[in-house]
Structure 1
C-alpha cells in the first residue's frame, strides 16, 4: 500500500477514502489521529491492525458539531450539553451511553462510547464531508509517542494506511481530556487540554480516576484510551524526576551518565550540555510555560529514537492546570518510574 500525502485542498479525497472503508491520518488540535468510519466494524478493525493496538483499548468517535451526539449516544445527561457549550469544539472527550449502531469494536464491548468534537477546522471539514463519525486513536504505532505533525505519523504509518492529511503542527500537543459522565460524580479518566480545574469550575465535583496516577491492574478494563497500557514510550527507558525544577535538574545532572538523553526545561539546558557537548538534550520550553511544554513533550520523546541513547531522564512540571496532562504522559512513558526530589 502506498500512503498518499494530502493537503487541506484534498478534503473530498480524504472523505472518499473514509466512506470506502479506508484509513486516513487526520489532524486535530491535540495529536494526529488514525481515522476510520466509526460505523464500519471492518474499517475500525483495520485501525487496530495498523497500530498493533490491544483490542480491549476503546476508541473515540469524532464528530463535527455537538448535534451529532444524538446519532451515537442515548440518555445524554444535561452535563454533556453544558460541557459541549463551553469546551466544544475543543480538546475534550465525554464518555456517554452509546446507541446500538456504534460497533462493539469501537467501544471494546462496553455500553459506553467516547465522543469528541475537535477544534481543528480541517478535521471537522473531513468528518462532515464523510458524513459519518470518525473513530480515531492517536496515529502512532501502539505504545510509541503520539504524532504532533504529519511527518511524525508518516514515520509510523507509511505503507500501512491509505492517506495522511497534513494540517500543520498540533496546537495543544497532548491528547484530549476524557471525562466519564456515566457516573456520579463525573470522573476524569485522562487529563488533557481542558484542565481538571476547568471541569470543576463547570460541573462542581469531579473525581480523578486512579489510573491517571498509577498503572492499571491486569484485571481492570479501561473505559477510555490511554488508561491501561504503557503509552507514549520511546525505545530507551525513561526516568521521570519530579519536584522543584532546580532540584530536579541538579539530581539529573548528578545521576545521568554522559551518554544518557535528557528532557529539561529551557533554563537548565546549559547544565546538561556543559562538558557533554555530544549528549542529546531536548528542551520542553520554559519551566513556567506549560502550554509550550505540552506542545513539545511528544517531539522530545520521539527525537531520542533517532539517537543511540540507552536511558532518558526527564524533568516534570507540577500538576496544576495542563501540567497534570504533561506529567501523566511522562509518567506513562516511564512506566511510572518516578523519582521525587
Structure 2
C-alpha cells in the first residue's frame, strides 16, 4: 500500500478515504492520531492491527463539535457545559456513558463509556466535518513506542500500512491530552491521564477534581489510553536523571564504566556541559518544561536511531505541565530513575 501525504488543500481526498474504511493519520495540537471511522468496526479493527495495540485498550473518539457528541450521549453531568465551553477545542478528553449499541466493543474496550475529544487543529476539524463521522484517533505509531509529533514520525512507523497522512507540521504541545472521567459514582471528576490541561486549571472551572495515580498492569484493562506502567518507550533503554549536573556526572560515569554509549536528552546547558563525555545529545533548548514536553517524543525517537546503548533524560518537578511530562517519561523509562546515589555504586 502506498501511504500518501496530504496537504490542507487535499482534505476532500483524505476524507473520501476515511469514508471508504481506510486509515488516515491526522494532526492535533498534542500528537498525530491514527484516524478511522469510529462507526465502522472493520476500520477500527484495522487500527488495532496496524498499531499492534492491545484490544482491551479503549480508543478516544474525535469530534468536530459538541453537537456530534450529543448523538451518542443522552445524560451529561452538570459540569459538562462549563468544561466544553472552557477547554474545547483543546487538549482535554472527556469520558461519558454512551447510549447502548452506538459504538462497537472495538472502540469501547468492552466498557459502557467512551472518551471524546475535540482537537484544536483546523485541518483535522475540517477532515471530520467533511467525512461526516467521528474518528477514533490513537497515536499514529507502533503501540508502546514514542508518540509521533510530526508527519515524518508517522511515516517512519506506518508507511505502507495506512492510506495516508494529513500533514500540518510539528505539533504544539507534544504529549497526549488530559483524560477526565465524568462517570465516577460520587460525581467527582477523575483525571486518568495527565496532560496540558492541569488539575488546577480544571478546578478553577468545575471545583474538586481527583487524580487517579493507579498504574495499570499488563493484565488489567485500562479505562483510558496510556495508563500502563510501560508505554511511549524507544528500543534503547531510558533512565530518568534529576536535573542536577552532579547527578548527571555520576550517571554518565556509571554508564561509561559499563562501556555503554550514551545519549542525553536535556537542556542546552547540560548538553554543553557534557558534550565531551556523551556520544549523542538532543537538546530541547532552554531549561523549560514546556520545551521539554514539546520535544520529548521527538528527542527519544531521534536518540533511538543513533548507535547508543542508553538514554539519560532530564527530570522536571512534578507540578503543572511537569506532571504530564514526568508521566510520559516515567513510562518511557519503565519507572527507572537514577536519583539515588546507591545506583552508581
Determine the structure 2 residue equivalent to 1:327: 326
Distance in 1 between the 2:79 and 2:30 partners? 23
Alpha-carbon displacement from aligned partner over 1:195-216 (angstroms, at most 9, x marks no partner): 12211222222111123xxx42
Alpha-carbon displacement from aligned partner over 1:133-152 (angstroms, at most 9, x marks no partner): 00010000001101100000
Distance in 1 between the 2:250 and 2:75 partners? 51
Q: Contact between 1:245 and 1:317, CA under 8 Å: does it hold in 2?
A: no
1:292 aligns with 2:276: no
Determine the structure 2 residue equivalent to 1:114: 115
Determine the structure 1 residue equivalent to 2:180: 179
Distance in 2 between the 1:85 and 1:264 partners? 36
TM-score norm. by structure 1 comes to 0.94
Matched residue pairs, number? 334
Distance in 2 between the 1:332 and 1:15 partners? 34
Alpha-carbon displacement from aligned partner over 1:174-202 (angstroms, at most 9, x marks no partner): 11110111113211111112112211222
Determine the structure 1 residue equivalent to 2:343: none
Distance in 1 between the 2:328 and 2:285 partners? 16
TM-score norm. by structure 2 comes to 0.93
1:262 aligns with 2:261: no
Distance in 1 between the 2:276 and 2:181 partners? 47
Distance in 2 between the 1:57 and 1:219 partners? 11
Alpha-carbon displacement from aligned partner over 1:76-133 (angstroms, at most 9, x marks no partner): 1121221110010001101111123122110101000010000011010000100100
Distance in 1 between the 2:166 and 2:205 partners? 34
Determine the structure 2 residue equivalent to 1:21: 21
Alpha-carbon displacement from aligned partner over 1:228-261 (angstroms, at most 9, x marks no partner): 262111111111123x544543443443326211
Distance in 1 between the 2:326 and 2:107 partners? 27
Distance in 1 between the 2:30 and 2:325 partners? 12
Consecutive unaligned residues in structure 2, runs of 5 or more:
341-345
Consecutive unaligned residues in structure 1, runs of 5 or more:
none
Question: Aligned-residue CA RMSD in angstroms?
Answer: 1.5
